[in-house]
Structure 1
Amino acid sequence: MRIGVLGTGRMADALGTQWARAGHDLFIGGRSRPKAQALAARIGHGARAGSLREAAGFGEVALLAVAYEGVEAALEAAGAAEGTL
C-alpha cells in the first residue's frame, strides 16, 4: 500500500518504520525537507521524502502525524483547503 506520512516526529518514525518493514511504500512529508529526508533515510526500505503536499498526494492513505497545535497549518500546507484530503 502507498502511504503518505505527514510529519517527521516520533509517531511518523515509529509507524513509518513498521509499515516500511511490512513492505508498504512510504513518502514522508514535512515542513522541513531536510528533516523529512533524514527520517526517510533512517526508515530505509525505499522511503522517499518531500513536502507535506507531496506526501498527501502520494498515498492511498495518509497519516497525519503532527502535534495538535500544528494540525491546521499542516492540513493547509498539504492542500486540504483544495479538497485533496
Structure 2
Amino acid sequence: MLPTLKEGDMVFFKKYIKKKSLLKAGQIVIIYHPLKNIRLIKRVKIVGKNSIEVLGDNIEYSNDSNKFGLINNEKVIGIVTSKIKKIF
C-alpha cells in the first residue's frame, strides 16, 4: 500500500474530544508517541474501549503499534479530515 501522506503534505484535522469523538478503523489520526516526545500521523486499525491500534501505511518502515503496542485514547490529538498535497 502506498503512503496516503507524503513529507510536506499539509493536513486538516478535528480535535479529538474524549467521549464525544468517534474513532473508527481506517481513520487517519494524529497521536502523541507513547514513549517519545513526538507527534505521529497513523491509520487506526483496531478500536478498543480505551485504546486503539495504529499502523502506518508504509508498514515496512513505520513506527507504529507493531513497535510500541496499543495507544491510550488520551494520546489522540485529532482526526484528519483532509489534506493538501505538497506543490513543489
Using the size of structure 2 for normalisation, the TM-score is 0.25
Higher helix proportion, which one? 1
Higher strand proportion, which one? 2
Using the size of structure 1 for normalisation, the TM-score is 0.25
Find the structure with the greater CA-based Rg: 2
